[in-house]
Structure 1
Amino acid sequence: MTDIQTRIRNSFDRQTMMRTLGAQLAQIQPGQVVITAPILPTSLQQQGAGHAGLAFSIGDSAAGYSALSLMPEDVEVMTVEMKINLMSPALGDRLVAEGRVIRPGRRIMVVAADVWTETAGQRKHVAILQGTMIPV
């Protein structure tokens, strides 16, 4: 495991929100991070689909960790702003958030994440996030 992977895994393990959601780090590469989360009975909205807050939470974290993967070792990262477009109800077994850096910078990083629902190997694109991260 690389230093970047260890750093991101250690940070992720300190996020109690991710633990509450059952989220897991699935992939870490420079500028790209994938997080998965089951669509649990405790993560549903009133019509039975995965709540937008679940999609936003794992999408924001995937995008944030993709930024952190390109930042110096002595800094952390925080979200400055994040926009989400919800395109389809999150019906399925789990969500997969694929975060990536769009534009790296020293002061801010523009990031994005695609969130997919998965059921029996089939994927459906349910949300797109775009935002800005800042080193702290």
Structure 2
Amino acid sequence: MNAAETDRIHDSFARQSMMETFGATLIDVSAGLVRISAPILPGSRQQQGFGHAGLTFSIGDSAAGYAALTMLPLTSEVVTAEIKINLLAPARGERLIATGRVVKPGKRLCVVTSEVHAEADGKSTLIAILQGTMVPVPL
């Protein structure tokens, strides 16, 4: 990826107020792969003290969407057409890491996946898998 392509992802991510609310950050951007980190803050926990599934879904969806965007021309954006999540384990720990990947790029549809891991005491646990479809849209 060139600087303009990488800057596009960072600039778009910076405009997401929800990611800012969650304290999420981009930690890796490369062709077909994006990683997002978010701390499990007191305001993003569910009733039992685990990270809320909404946090897990949000960063997983964003990581997958931005992974799709890395494969598209600078004149495109993406929107999620559909995405499914399997929650595998509680979000226990200090932070979540979502890794979005492109399964099949396309001009009309991009099939994507995302894995979300929870980090606790130096250990990483897979807590969710997402799969979905992103639709390229012109700017």
Q: TM-score, normalised by structure 2?
A: 0.96
Q: Which residue of the partner structure matches residue 134 of structure 1?
A: 135
Q: Which residue of the partner structure matches residue 44 of structure 1?
A: 45
Deviations 1:65-86 (A, max 9, x none): 0000000110110000000000
Displacement after TM superposition at 1:24 (Å): 0.1
Deviations 1:43-94 (A, max 9, x none): 0011110000000000000000000000011011000000000000000000
Displacement after TM superposition at 1:104 (Å): 0.7
Q: Which residue of the partner structure matches residue 95 of structure 2?
A: 94
Comparing 26-35 with 115-124, greater Cα deviation is found at 115-124
Distance 1:133 1:8 in 2: 15
Residue 76 of structure 2: SS of its match in structure 1? coil
Distance 1:85 1:112 in 2: 11
Residue 73 of structure 1: SS of its match in structure 2? coil
Question: Where do residues 31-110 of structure 1 align in structure 2 (5 Å cutoff)?
Answer: 31-110=32-111
Displacement after TM superposition at 1:4 (Å): 1.5
Distance 1:98 1:120 in 2: 20
Same amino acid, percent of matched pairs: 57
1:18 aligned partner, one-letter code? M
Distance 1:120 1:86 in 2: 21
Displacement after TM superposition at 1:120 (Å): 2.8
Q: Which residue of the partner structure matches residue 22 of structure 2?
A: 21
Displacement after TM superposition at 1:5 (Å): 1.1
Moved over 2 A (4+): none
Distance 1:4 1:73 in 2: 7
CA RMSD of aligned residues (A): 0.8
Distance 1:53 1:87 in 2: 14
Deviations 1:7-46 (A, max 9, x none): 0000000000000000000000000000000000000011
Displacement after TM superposition at 1:2 (Å): 1.8
Unmatched 5+ stretches in structure 2? none
